[in-house]
Amino acid sequence: MLPFVRLVPLALLGACAPAPLPPGAAPAPVAPPPEPVHAESLHPSPYDPQVDLQQEREALRQIAQTRSFRNGAPRNVSLTPDGKHVLFLRSGPRDPRQSLFETDVDSGATRELVTPESLLTGPESLSPEERVRRERMRITGTGFTSIDLSEDGALVLLVLSGRLFVLDRATGKTHALATGEGAAIDPHFSPDGTRVAYVRDEELRVVPVAGGREVQVTQRGSEKLTHGLAEFVAEEELDRDRGFWWSPDGTRLLYEEADTSHVDVLSIADPFHPENAPQRIAYPRPGRPNAQVRFGVVSAKGGPTTWAQVAFAKLPYVAHASWPKGGPPLLYALDRLQNEGSLFAIDPATGKATSLVTEQDAAWLNADPTVPRWLADGKGFLWSTERSGEWQLELRDPAGRLLGELLPKGFGYAEVADVDEKARTAVVLGSADPTETAEWLVSLDGTVAPRRLAGAAGEAHAHFDASHSTFVSSEATTATMWRWVVRSLDGKTERAIPSTSEAPLRPPTVELAEVGSDRVRVAIVRPRRFRPDRRYAVIDAAYGGPHAQVVEQSESAYVRAQWMADATGAIVVAIDARGTPRRGRDWERAIFKRLGSVPVAGHVAALQALGAKYPEMDLSRVGVYGWSFGGYFAARAVLERPDVYLVAVAGAPPADWRDYDTAYTERYLGLPDEDAAAYDAASLLPLARRPAPSPDAARRLLLVHGTADDNVWFLNGLKLADALERGGRPFEFMPLAGTTHMLLDATLNEETWLRAADTLRNALRARE
C-alpha cells in the first residue's frame, strides 16, 4: 500500500501507514534548542521580511529529529488482564531506541522495566528479512519494537537483534530463549504461556519458555518457500502482517506457506559501495506472477500439515486469517482483482473449507482487518460490509446467517475495538463526520442506541483489557497532540500514560471547512503572521490517493504543514476529494480505473471553491507537494493542470503503475493486458514526454526519490526523469542515496524539506 501514517499524513511527512498505533503525544516541556545552524537556504517570506529564519530552521530540525513527534510516544500499548497495569514501549524525545515501561493504573506510577542495553551490548543487528518486514509495517523505532503479553499477564516477550527474551513481571527477571543460530521473527506466546512460536530460517518453530530444545514445526522451507511469514502483498496491501496463529488450546498452529519462485526479482544496488552485490527482492508487478500461498494446520510438535481446501489459485489474497476462541480457523480470501471475497471456516482435522460469507463489488472490495470477530462463546461473529453503499456492522450466527445489523444508517463505521459477549456489547470506532473518529458502545442485540464514550471531539482509538471494562484511549484534537488515557466504561477511571514527546516549537493553527457542492473536507493552515488584508499564495499538501485521509481532527497531522506555511509565507491546504475513504462506497470508488484524473480534478475544484470562499487565497499562485501517492499527485498536477499549479515537489512518485505492486494497482486499474488504456491514462510518463504548450506553461518540478526504495522502486524516479528530459520539461532530480521509502535520517529529512520549501517559495514568489 502506498503508505499513510495516521499521525502525519504521508503527503506531509515523506514516510510512512494506514496504520497501526496512532502516533503523537501529549504536549511536554520542550527540550533546549539545538545548536545554532546556518539558515542561508531559507529565504524571507515575501509577506513578512521579519521572519526569524533561524527559528524556522530549528522548528524543522525538531520535526526531523523527533520523527514528527512520534519519538517519546507510548507504543504497543497492552493492558494486563486485570486492567491494573499498562505495558508499553517508549523512547526518548529525540532518540528512537525504545525500552519497556509499565504504568500502575491506580497510582499513576510509571517505571522502566527493561532497556535494550540491559539485555545486549553493542549495536543492534537486524536480519534482511526483519529489515524488510519493518519497512512493510512502517516501524520507525529501534530497540524493542514489539511486545507480546501472555494471556495471564505474567510474562512479556521481547525481541532484540533477532533474539528472544522473556520477562517475568512478578520477579523482574529476564531470560533468553534458546532459539538457535539465526534471527527469530514475529514471536508469539502459546495460549497457556509455556511456549513461544516464531519463524527462523523460513521455518516455523516452537521453544519452551522454561528452557528446552527448539522444535522445528515445518519442513523444506527455503529462501523462496517460507513458512509462517506473510507475503509481500499481505503486509503491504492487505493489512495482514502475521503468517501463523496458535490454536486456542495450544496444540496446533495455523500457518501460511508462500512460494515466491515465480515472482519477479528486482535488485537494489548500493551506490556508495558498487563493489557489493545488490540486494535481491521478490516484487510482484501488475500482470506478473504473485506469490503462491496456501494455509494449513500442523501440530505444535511438528508433523504433517493438513492443508485448507480453498481454491487459492482462484482466491490468491488472504486478507484475514485467525484461529479464535470458540471458533474454527478462519480465512477471508479475495480473487486477484478483489471483486469477490469469501470468508471460510476451516475444519482443522480435514482441511474442509465452508464458506460463511461472500462479498462482491463491481469495482473492488475493501477488507476490514478487525473482522471477523468471533464470539468466544461460539454463538456467532461480527462482520462488516459495504454491501448497502456504506459500512455496516453485522452479527451473524456460526453458519454465517445474518442475525441483525448493529448500526443506524449514516453511522460512519470504521472498525471494531472490542467485543463483550457476556454484556452483549461491542465497542466500535467511527463517526458520521469523516474527519473524526470516536469510540462507541454498541448493543449486539440492537436494543440500545450506540453510546459515545468519554473523550473530546477529535480522534480516538481504544485498546481493551481481557475483562472488557478498562481500555486505553489514544486521543487527539486539532488543538492537542496525541495523548494516552486509561479509562473505564463506567467512567470512574481516568489515568494518563506519560509521554516524553516534545511539544512542537510551532504548534499548528488549523481551520477545518467544507467547500463546494460536494462538501469536500479541507484543512487550512495559515502562516503564523497571517494578515487578513493581504493575499497569499496557496500550497496543496496533497495525498489524493485511495485508502488515505489528510483532513482529520488531530493537531499532529498539520505540524509540517504549519512549518511549510511559515517557511514559504503561503497558505497550506489539505484536501480530501473524491476517491478518499469514509464518504461512502460511491465517493471512494470514483477513482476506479481513473486513478490520476479524478483526484486532480477534485483538488482543482476544491481549490476554486476555496478561492471563492477565502479571498485571501491567490489562486494565480498555487504549488503542491506530496510523497508516494502524494508525490504522484504532485507531479501529475503540474503536468496535467499547469493552468492551476505553478510548481511541485514530488517525493517517491509511482511514475508508471505497471511498475508498482499487483494487489494495490490491479485493485484500482485492473489487469494491464485487459485495461491498458487505464494504465496509460494513469501513467505520468506520457504527460512528461509531451512538450509544454508554451515556455510559460512549463512548470517547475523537484523530483525526490530514495535509491533503496523497495516500495515505490527508484526506477520510477529514473523513468520519470528520463521522460521529463525527453519532453524538454524543467525539473530537478534529488536522489537520496541508500534511502528507503521512509525518510528516517534526520539530517537528510531536514535538508530535503528545506529544499522543498525553497523550491515552492521561489517559484511562487516569482509570480507575485
pLDDT for 494-519, tens place per residue?
A: 999 999 999 999 999 999 999 999 99
The answer for residues whose C-beta is within 8 angstroms of residue 307's C-beta and 6 or more apart is 294, 295, 296, 351
* Residue indicated by cell numbers 509521554: 499
DSSP H or E run through 320: strand 317-322
Question: What's residue 72's pLDDT?
Answer: 96
Integer Cα distance of 722 and 728 in angstroms: 10
* Residue 75: φ, ψ to 5°: -130, 160
> Hey, CA dihedral for 531, 533, 534, 539, is it positive or negative?
positive
Phi-psi region of 90 (alpha: psi -120 to 50; beta: other; left: phi over 0): beta
DSSP assignment string, 200-218: ETTEEEEEETTS---EE-S
Question: What's residue 697's pLDDT?
Answer: 72
Hey, what's the cell of 380? Answer: 456467532
Q: Tell me the CA distances in angstroms from 357 to 307, 354, 529, 732, one per residue in order.
A: 21, 9, 56, 51
5 or 269, higher pLDDT = 269
Integer Cα distance of 519 and 8 in angstroms: 23
Closest CA to 315 of 279, 362, 365: 365
Residue 39 has pLDDT above 90, yes or no: no
The answer for residues whose C-beta is within 8 angstroms of residue 122's C-beta and 6 or more apart is none
Residue 181 has pLDDT above 90, yes or no: no
Closest CA to 18 of 181, 238, 201: 238
Question: What's residue 456's pLDDT?
Answer: 64
50, with CB counted inside 10 A (0-12, 13-18, 19+), is: exposed
Residue 90 has pLDDT above 60, yes or no: yes
Residue 74: count of CB within 10 angstroms of its CB = 28
Report the b/e string of 664-693 with b at 16+ CB within 10 A: bbbbbbbbbeebeebbebbbbbebbbeebe
Q: Tell me the CA distances in angstroms from 729 to 234, 293, 600, 740, 767, one per residue in order.
A: 38, 44, 20, 27, 19
126, with CB counted inside 10 A (0-12, 13-18, 19+), is: middle
Residue 18 has pLDDT above 90, yes or no: no
Integer Cα distance of 92 and 90 in angstroms: 7
344, with CB counted inside 10 A (0-12, 13-18, 19+), is: buried
User: Is the Cβ–Cβ distance between 634 and 624 less than 8 Å?
Assistant: yes
User: Is the Cβ–Cβ distance between 187 and 164 less than 8 Å?
Assistant: yes
Residue 154 has pLDDT above 90, yes or no: yes
Percent of the chain past pLDDT 90, that is, above it, reads 84
- Where residue 1 falls among pLDDT bands split at 50, 70, 90? low
SS3 category, 167: strand
Closest CA to 649 of 564, 738, 566: 564
Question: What's residue 694's pLDDT?
Answer: 77
| pLDDT (tens digit per residue) in 654-699 | 999 999 999 999 999 999 999 999 999 999 999 999 988 877 777 8
267, with CB counted inside 10 A (0-12, 13-18, 19+), is: exposed
Residues 158-183: what's their mean pLDDT? 94
User: In residues, how long is the chain?
Assistant: 768
Ranking 26-40, 216-230, 302-316 by mean pLDDT, the lowest is: 26-40
Integer Cα distance of 611 and 538 in angstroms: 10
Question: What's residue 632's pLDDT?
Answer: 98
> Hey, CA dihedral for 709, 635, 528, 8, is it positive or negative?
negative
Hey, what's the cell of 45? Answer: 517570506
* Residue 181: φ, ψ to 5°: -75, 145
Closest CA to 504 of 64, 77, 96: 64
Integer Cα distance of 527 and 561 in angstroms: 10
Q: Give the pairing type, strands 252-259 and 225-227.
A: antiparallel
DSSP H or E run through 244: strand 244-246
Beta-ladder partners of 536 = 617
The CA-CA-CA angle for residues 626, 631, 635, to 5°, reads 115
* Residue indicated by cell numbers 500550497: 539
Distance from CA of residue 488 to its chain's centroid?
28
- Where residue 126 falls among pLDDT bands split at 50, 70, 90? confident
User: Is the Cβ–Cβ distance between 312 and 236 less than 8 Å?
Assistant: no
123 or 106, higher pLDDT = 106
Question: What's residue 38's pLDDT?
Answer: 32
Residue 41 has pLDDT above 50, yes or no: no
Residues 634-642: what's their mean pLDDT? 97
Q: What integer best gives the mean pLDDT of the chain? A: 91
- Where residue 454 falls among pLDDT bands split at 50, 70, 90? confident
SS3 category, 78: strand
The CA-CA-CA angle for residues 358, 340, 374, to 5°, reads 40
Residue 286: count of CB within 10 angstroms of its CB = 22
Question: What's residue 751's pLDDT?
Answer: 95
SS (H, E, C) 39-54: CCCCCCECCECCCCHH
The answer for residues whose C-beta is within 8 angstroms of residue 557's C-beta and 6 or more apart is 6, 7, 8, 9, 12, 523, 550, 574
Residue 148: count of CB within 10 angstroms of its CB = 20
Integer Cα distance of 579 and 547 in angstroms: 8
Closest CA to 486 of 500, 501, 475: 475
| pLDDT (tens digit per residue) in 515-547 | 999 999 999 999 999 999 999 999 999 999 999
| pLDDT (tens digit per residue) in 323-363 | 999 999 999 999 999 999 999 999 999 999 999 999 999 99
- Where residue 52 falls among pLDDT bands split at 50, 70, 90? low
> Hey, CA dihedral for 595, 597, 602, 607, is it positive or negative?
positive
With a threshold of 0.85, does the pTM exceed it?
yes
User: Is the Cβ–Cβ distance between 426 and 437 less than 8 Å?
Assistant: no
SS3 category, 529: coil
